[in-house]
Amino acid sequence: MMELSYQSMKVAHQAREADELRTEMRRKSLLILIYHHLLGQGYVSAAVALDQETNGGVRRFEVCDNIDLEMVLMEYESYHYVKFQKYPKLIRRTAEPGENRNARSGSVKRSSCSAAKPLPKINPSQSPKSGNGAKRTTASSHTNENGSALPPELSEFGLNVSSIRNGPAGEAANNRKGQMTDGKVSINDAVKGAGSDSDHMERLLKPLSGFSGMSGEMRELAAIISRDIYLHSPNVRWEDIIGLEDAKRLVKEAVVYPIKYPQLFTGILSPWKGLLLYGPPGTGKTLLAKAVATECKTTFFNISASSIVSKWRGDSEKLVRVLFELARYHAPSTIFLDELESVMSQRGTSMGGEHEGSRRMKTELLVQMDGLAKSEDLVFVLAASNLPWELDHAMLRRLEKRIIVSLPSSPARQAMISHWLPPLSSTGGVELRTELDYETLAKGMEGYSGSDIRLVCKEAAMRPVRKIFDALESHQDGDTDVPAIQLETVTTADFLEVITHTKPSARNLMDKYTAWEREYESV
Ligand code: ADP
């Protein structure tokens, strides 16, 4: 009896030892896998640091059987899919202090176009109609992933507009995710579902140490440009851009669809390498570029052309070269060159003759654009200009596709005013009511840009708020009870009064844009 229990204790002890050994081996293998993964991805300094921290314990080992971290994760995903019919969510963004996770995850609902998608069968006669010029569908931005209502959303002026905008359209939008087909969730949906949380995750860039053949100076320039790469999604969706239906469609055709459906864009349809958005200031050119960045998870370089010139006059030529090299390194990439006229005005026409450095930089930009046109690199230049007639013709030829972003139409102006000043919203918990004849106001704002209209709406919303400052100030000096605050309703007359004090910024230039459009519009 004694002998038996001694034997079983020994066996149990040996089993425990074997278990501990396996755990230890597993931990060590994990570190070695991480070490090789870091090296493979070019994170050389991180790999060296890991090796040092483990006293050289990882460098001396190789991984057997072609295992690597990615494969381990893939195996886990397949296992999870077989067991639960959906892919696992591997990571999730940590909430930052004071951040509302629900609001974040609900605020982005978009289809990623980073990966080529298989083409579904579509009967051309069934293709969905493009929406009405100025009507916006905002429903998707007010529901979270499970389709439940999000906490009230604040409008751009801090006004709560969610209660007013949630409509039946929202329900339809909610049902899109996790759609069941014959009782099964399609793999595409499962993949989309699993990826949704990482959609607005900070972008992980390849380390610059893998950027070969660079001198110290070039590496420094690369680091400077890397600061202009969007790491966070700018979170502007197509439906956030009011009106501009033609411009949106053309931008999607030129930039988004070639990335989403590359199989369609070959031969004569091979994608454009350069696109110019032009039109009056404040009409949504930057918004369109941000929507591209949000929709396509390409590496997005947001470059303000004027800052290249002013900050890097001497070095700007090198900076341009490194910019394109970096874009190729991080491909697929989109380079957004804002205020293009400030670097690419017609050569030799700038005041006081042309600076030699700036001439060389322009030439470099042209050379790089030519390089792109000839190559298969997935790098695309999106340029914006308020003054297209000032642009160098050689540059224009390279921006093959040109799209006008014009002043908002009357329905678009109406949609903007009702978006920024809905009948009921709240600011800092205080209700703001408006009684506005949107149609009349939109008619009275001909020639105003989107940005002008936003300013007018802000000023109109400010009027009743201004009137309560006295009450608030006197309250702070006295007792602790918060006075009941009632804001006056903003009326059409108030709004018209604001309009008389704010002049449209670009009305007089519109003829010039249309004349330019007639001459230079590509298609
Ligand atoms: P630009 O054409 O000068 O690049 P932006 O895209 O920067 O203009 O627009 C400036 C601001 O004006 C935007 O942040 C937005 O608030 C407002 N705006 C302009 N056009 C629109 C639009 N079509 N839809 C929604 N907001 C707009």
pLDDT of residue 70: 82
Give me the residue label for tokens 């459906």.
Answer: 261
Q: Which atom of ligand 1 is nearest to the CA of 156?
A: 16
Ligand 1 center–CA 453 separation, angstroms: 10
User: What is the CB neighbour count within 10 angstroms for residue 43?
Assistant: 18
Residues annotated as binding site for ATP? Answer: 279-286
- N- to C-terminal Cα distance for the chain? 95
Q: What is the dihedral of CA 446, 447, 450, 454, to 10 degrees?
A: -70
Q: Which of 277, 283, 341, 420 to mutate to test the pocket of ligand 1 (most atoms within 8 A of CB)?
A: 283
Atom 16 of ligand 1: nearest residue by CA position:
451
Give the pLDDT of the chain (523 residues) as one tens digit per residue.
556 677 888 888 888 888 888 888 888 888 988 888 888 777 878 888 888 888 888 888 888 877 888 888 888 888 888 888 888 888 887 776 655 544 444 333 334 455 465 666 666 555 554 444 444 443 333 334 343 333 333 444 544 433 323 333 333 333 333 333 333 333 333 333 333 444 445 666 676 666 665 666 777 777 777 777 777 778 899 999 999 999 999 999 988 888 888 888 888 888 888 999 999 999 999 999 999 988 887 888 888 877 676 666 567 788 888 889 888 888 888 899 998 888 777 655 545 456 677 788 888 889 999 988 888 788 889 999 999 998 988 889 889 899 999 999 999 999 999 999 999 887 777 788 888 899 999 998 999 999 999 999 999 998 888 888 777 777 665 555 656 677 888 888 888 988 888 888 776 777 888 888 888 765 4
3-state secondary structure 173-201: HHCCCCCEECCEECHHHHHHHHHHHHHHC
Ligand 1 center–CA 451 separation, angstroms: 5
Going by C-beta distance under 8 Å and a sequence separation of 6 or more, which residues neighbour residue 77? 87, 88, 90
Pocket of ligand 1 (CB under 6 A): 241-244, 281-287, 384, 450-451, 454
Q: Which of 157, 277, 287, 453 to mutate to test the pocket of ligand 1 (most atoms within 8 A of CB)?
A: 287
What per-residue string of b and e applies to 450-483 under the rule 16 or more CB within 10 Å gives b?
A: bbbbbbbbebbbebbbeebeeeeeeeeeeeeeee
Q: Which atom of ligand 1 is nearest to the CA of 289?
A: 6
pLDDT of residue 139: 37
Bridge partner list, 278: 385, 404
Ligand 1 center–CA 271 separation, angstroms: 26
Ligand 1 center–CA 242 separation, angstroms: 9
Atom 5 of ligand 1: nearest residue by CA position:
284
Q: Phi/psi zone of residue 451: left (φ > 0), alpha (ψ -120 to 50 degrees), beta?
A: alpha
Atom 15 of ligand 1: nearest residue by CA position:
451
CA distance 155 to 172: 23
Atom 6 of ligand 1: nearest residue by CA position:
284
Ligand 1 center–CA 284 separation, angstroms: 4
What is this structure's pTM?
0.67
Q: Cβ-count burial of 190 within 10 angstroms (0-12 exposed, 13-18 middle, 19+ buried)?
A: buried
388-415 tens-digit pLDDT: 998 988 889 889 899 999 999 999 999 9
User: What is the CB neighbour count within 10 angstroms for residue 309?
Assistant: 18
Q: What DSSP designation does 160 have?
A: B
Ligand 1 center–CA 440 separation, angstroms: 22
Task: State the chain's mean pLDDT as an integer.
Answer: 74
Atom 18 of ligand 1: nearest residue by CA position:
450
Q: Which atom of ligand 1 is nearest to the CA of 280?
A: 2
Q: Which atom of ligand 1 is nearest to the CA of 279?
A: 2
Atom 7 of ligand 1: nearest residue by CA position:
286
Q: What DSSP designation does 387 have?
A: -
Ligand 1 center–CA 450 separation, angstroms: 5
Q: What is the dihedral of CA 240, 323, 281, 370, to 10 degrees?
A: -100
Ligand 1 center–CA 427 separation, angstroms: 22
pLDDT of residue 121: 63
Ligand 1 center–CA 286 separation, angstroms: 7
Ligand 1 center–CA 9 separation, angstroms: 76
Tokens, residue 348: 């030799």
Q: Which atom of ligand 1 is nearest to the CA of 244?
A: 23
CA distance 510 to 237: 27
Residues annotated as binding site? Answer: 279-286
pLDDT of residue 522: 55
CA distance 323 to 333: 11
Q: Which atom of ligand 1 is nearest to the CA of 405?
A: 2
Atom 11 of ligand 1: nearest residue by CA position:
451
CA distance 178 to 344: 48
Q: Which atom of ligand 1 is nearest to the CA of 384?
A: 4
Ligand 1 center–CA 40 separation, angstroms: 42
Q: Are strands 424-427 and 430-435 parallel, antiparallel or unpaired?
A: antiparallel
Q: Which of 451, 502, 509 to mutate to test the pocket of ligand 1 (most atoms within 8 A of CB)?
A: 451
Q: Which atom of ligand 1 is nearest to the CA of 287?
A: 6
pLDDT of residue 197: 42
Atom 10 of ligand 1: nearest residue by CA position:
282
CA distance 166 to 59: 57
